[in-house]
Amino acid sequence: MGGIIFGLALVVAGTLIVMKTEWLMQNFGRVAWFEKNLGAEGGSRLGYKLMGLVAIFAGLLFMTGLMGNFMNWALSPVIKAGNRQ
């Protein structure tokens, strides 16, 4: 039950981040890393939107109980490389 509530909170937070990107820009300003790595035109806006999308994706994984399986899949190359003898 806790995973569903936490996942739902992440989905709502991510949705708000995506919808209110301009408000975030006005109140928190530009992020230098986003500006440098995501392009000169709209780098911080794109960065905020990507953060929101990642939060939505993570929230959906928590709600469905698939976060552990996804992390095992995503980190499997690193884990296999660390187990070599």
> What DSSP character marks residue 40?
S
| pLDDT given for residue 60 in this prediction | 94
Q: CA nearest 13: which of 45, 46, 44, 57? A: 57
Instruction: Kindly report, residue by residue over 25-74, the tens digit of the pLDDT.
Output: 999 988 888 888 887 677 888 999 999 999 999 999 999 998 888 888 88
| pLDDT given for residue 49 in this prediction | 93
pLDDT confidence of 80, banded at 50, 70, 90? confident
Collapsing DSSP to helix, strand or coil, 12 comes out as: helix
Cβ atoms within 10 Å, residue 14:
21
pLDDT confidence of 76, banded at 50, 70, 90? confident
| pLDDT given for residue 55 in this prediction | 96
CA distances from 14 to 5, 19, 26 (A): 14, 9, 18
Q: Which domain holds residue 8?
A: 2-82
When divided into structural domains, the chain yields a total of: 1
Question: Taking 80 as the threshold, does the pLDDT of residue 82 lie above it?
Answer: no
Crossing angle of helices 43-64 and 21-28, in 10° steps, is 120
